[in-house]
Structure 1
Amino acid sequence: MVDVLNMDAIAIGILGFGGLGQAAARLLNQKQELRWVAAADRAGYAYDPKGLDTDVCIAATRERGSLGSVPEVGASAADSIAALRDRARVDGYFLALPNLPNTFMADVARGFIASGWRGVMVDALKRTSAVEQLLELRADLEAAGITYLTGCGATPGLLTAAAAIAAQSYAEIHNVCITFGVGIANWDAYRATIREDIAHMPGYNVERARTMSDAEVEALLDATDGVIKLENMEHADDIMLELAGVCPRDRVTVGGIVDTRNPQKPLSTNVQVTGRTFEGKISTHTFTLGDETSMAANVCGPAFGYLKAAVALHRRGWYGLHTAADIMPRFAR
């Protein structure tokens, strides 16, 4: 297998520069094997093959509204993703994009396919239906020379992979239950993520959440004391575990609590895998994330571990679509 460790730093691009994208940039700032060189937001992009300055890019975004305002390396663009894609030389992109509408991530993938671009793409998609749309592009991604890993955040992602490994103790999986707790100081830091969570609430859907004004979101959070409770979510952990042969999707459940006014987690994030061993015994494995790890750490860290693994696959000529339950991430130092 190609040893990525002995190669030059992997050039990384980030698509989307809201709360998650900015957290990803801060994480990359501490990596030696990964070099952050490109990013795009709605109104522009920044690109420097020598590496972008995290503090400068975040400051420009917060003070002037876009990466396009970053001195010397920024540019405004109506279609910033396409403009950056056509200019930047990167090994792989992390798609820190809100999947609003629900077709958005698949549309972005189609744009990369049509452009003739070759490389690695990794997302942190949530919804089963969004992953199903990407599954329809498997042959196109392979023919285009793109290695695409989907569902590579926390859930789906880290917890899905943990469930796939835990399942090996059993002859049959009875159920997989994922429960997450997220705490953030204020919803404004992760607007797109919170909107996607609202879309899972009873009486809401993706389109309604997408078109809500900030004032409407704030009114909803005021009514719930800033807490979003989610049950039986449409989460792609189910299809990913089904594709991996672990269990039928109807045996997978996902739910949790998001506190948008307190950085402390309202409950511990965990996955429980219950099954029957070959001796006929029923047991449950539980994998619990440390409460001190933030949503950003548990999403961005795995995403870049999967991106590093995807680069190794791509350099071996392995293209097409894979999920976090198919491939082991490689720790990026």
Structure 2
Amino acid sequence: MTVNQTSPLSIGILGFGGLGQAAARLLSPKQEMRLCAVADGQGYAYDSQGLNPETLTTVTGDRGSVGYLDQHGVLSQNSIAELIQAAPQVDGYFLALPNLPNTFMASVARQFIDSGWQGVLVDALKRTSAVEQLLGLQEDLQAAGITYMTGCGATPGLLTAAAALAAQSYAEIHQVAITFGVGIANWEAYRSTIREDIAHMPGYDVETARAMSDADVAALLDKTNGILKLENMEHADDIMLELAGIVDRDRVTVGGIVDTRNAKKPLSTNVQVTGRTFDGKISTHTFTLGDDTSMAANVCGPAFGYLKAGINLHRRGLHGLFTAAEVMPQFVR
């Protein structure tokens, strides 16, 4: 059931790097959502009547922060907490933030819990351990009146939800295999995302990736010709599908290739669900994303679809933590 609304939902974006800027552009033509609040590491901007994504991107490119926006920008070293207080009527936020360190997203959730704000949060978290930290906040989120949608990007997110649907053909799931291809023409447009990917590589972890300078990242990419090959990643698709009662996490694998020098995907992103049907047949469903849908399109689109679904849950009094494998996203017009 969708709650009827007469005015656009007031939406905020935390983080205004490559993903946050793409999310703002995606929202621009939407009628059901209006971008009103943005924060980055140096400041925030808020206007209840709406913010212009192009202006925000220009200011960030020229001066380094949305806090420099004329009239509506505020420079701050505590931008998230201050924005929450300055904009209590924001319906929901997309947390387009790097989860570096691995405790960061949980600490942001704690800021919202402690603030007294009530609404919807959605993230595109990758790591299983990060989602486990949020599970530890389940009761606190519920008590605070917050509906939190986690793992709602591409993977985890879109592909996890596809796996949950595909699983319905089977009496038993044998394996869920997610393989992704990402093409980025310039890695510096997605610095944080690339660092998170590096953290999954052999010999690296979250802290070593976080400590790498841009020059260190560039040197690594020079060694690999701009290619990152990722296998058996610690990806929250596994815990999300397990929590949904679909398959044990040890039967879920995630890996892929990221090309940081070409916009064209190095391979097609897909999820394969293999199982046994009630009549004893072994079969595999494959769901493949179109090669011309970018990483940003496949992350931000589902994130706002889940945000809309979360707002409807919130208005019906359903609070706490939900994942992309247990709630159907709703298309934002």
* Residue 31 (1) aligns with residue 30 (2): yes
2:192 match: 192
Cα deviation for residue 329 of structure 1 reads 0.3
CA deviation digits over 1:24-46, x for unaligned, max 9? 00000011101000000000001
How big is each residue's C-alpha offset from its partner over 1:124-146, in whole Å with a ceiling of 9 and x where there is no partner? Answer: 00000000000000000000000
Match of 2:266? 266
Question: Residue type of the partner of 1:87?
Answer: A
Q: Which residue of 1 aligns with 2:202?
A: 202
Q: Distance in 2 between matches of 1:74 and 1:118?
A: 23
For 1:19, the equivalent position in structure 2 comes to 18
Is 2:91 the partner of 1:91? yes
Distance in 2 between the 1:54 and 1:104 partners?
25
Length-normalised TM-score, structure 1: 0.99
Q: In the TM superposition, what whole-angstrom CA distance separates every residue of 1:75-109 from its partner, at most 9, and x where no partner exists?
A: 00111000101101200000000000000000000
Match for 2:48: what amino acid?
P
In the other structure, the counterpart of 1:171 is: 171
**Counterpart AA for 1:209:** A
Letter in 1 for 2:8: A
The answer for unaligned runs of 5 or more in structure 1 is: none
Q: Hey, what's the Cα distance between the residues in 2 that align with 1:151 and 1:234?
A: 13
1:110-259 to 2 correspondence within 5 Å? 110-259=110-259
- Cα distance, 1:326 vs. partner? 0.7
Give 1:41's aligned amino acid. D
Residue 115 of structure 1: how far off its partner (Å)? 1.0
Once residues 7 and 102 of structure 1 are traced to their aligned partners in structure 2, the CA distance between those partners, rounded to angstroms, is: 39
- The one-letter code matched in structure 1 to 2:223 is A
Distance 1:138 1:7 in 2: 31
CA distance in 1, matches of 2:259, 2:226: 6
Q: Encode CA deviations 1:137-182: one digit per residue, 9 max, x unaligned.
A: 0000000000000000000000000000000000000000000000
- Look up the match of 2:60: 61
CA–CA distance in structure 2, aligned partners of residues 152 and 47 of structure 1: 25
Residue in 2 aligned with 1:293? 293
* Cα distance in 1, alignment partners of residues 46 and 57 from structure 2: 14
Structure 2 match to 1:51: 50
Give the Cα separation in 2 of the matches to 1:235 and 1:271.
14
Same amino acid, percent of matched pairs: 74
Runs of 5+ consecutive residues of structure 2 not aligned to the other structure: none
Is 1:316 aligned to 2:309, yes or no? no
> Take 1:11 and 1:46, find their aligned partners in 2: how far apart are those partners?
14
**Partner deviation per Cα, 1:195-219 (whole Å, 9 max, x = no partner):** 0000000000000000001100000
Equivalent position of 1:303 in the other structure: 303
Q: Are 1:80 and 2:79 an aligned pair?
A: yes
State the match for 2:325 in structure 1: 325
Q: For this pair of structures, how many residues does the alignment match?
A: 332
Give, in whole Å, the separation in 1 of the partners of 2:45 and 2:111: 19
SS at match of 1:175: strand
Q: Give the Cα–Cα distance (whole angstroms) in 1 for the partners of residues 53 and 156 of structure 2.
A: 27
Whether 1:282 aligns to 2:273 is no
Quote the Cα distance in structure 2 between the aligned partners of 1:73 and 1:108: 23
Output the CA distance in 2 between the equivalents of 1:124 and 1:95.
Answer: 7
Q: Kindly state the Cα deviation for residue 7 of structure 1 after the two structures are TM-superposed.
A: 3.0
- 3-state SS of paired residue (1:192): helix
C-alpha distance after superposition, 1:44-84 (max 9, x if no partner): 00100000011110000000000010111100011100010
Query: In structure 2, what residue type is equivalent to 1:316?
Result: R
Q: Report the alpha carbon displacement of residue 3 of structure 1 after superposing the two structures with TM.
A: 2.0
Distance in structure 2 (CA, Å) of the matches to 1:274 and 1:170: 8
Check conservation: 1:13, 1:93, Cα contact below 8 A: yes
* CA apart distance, 1:2: 4.7
Amino acid across the alignment from 1:318: L
TM-score (norm 2): 0.99
Q: Confirm whether residue 108 of structure 1 aligns to residue 130 of structure 2.
A: no
Query: 1:173 touches 1:247 (CA, 8 Å); kept in 2?
Result: yes
**What secondary structure does 1:50 align onto?**
coil
Query: 1:8: Cα distance to partner?
Result: 1.3
Aligned mates of 1:160, 1:8 — CA distance in 2: 31
Deviations along 1:207-239, one digit per CA (max 9) or x if unpaired, are 000000110000000000000000000000000
Q: Indicate conservation of the 8 Å contact 1:14/1:93, yes or no.
A: yes
Contact 1:2 1:316 in 2 (8 A): no
AA in 2 matched with 1:61:
T
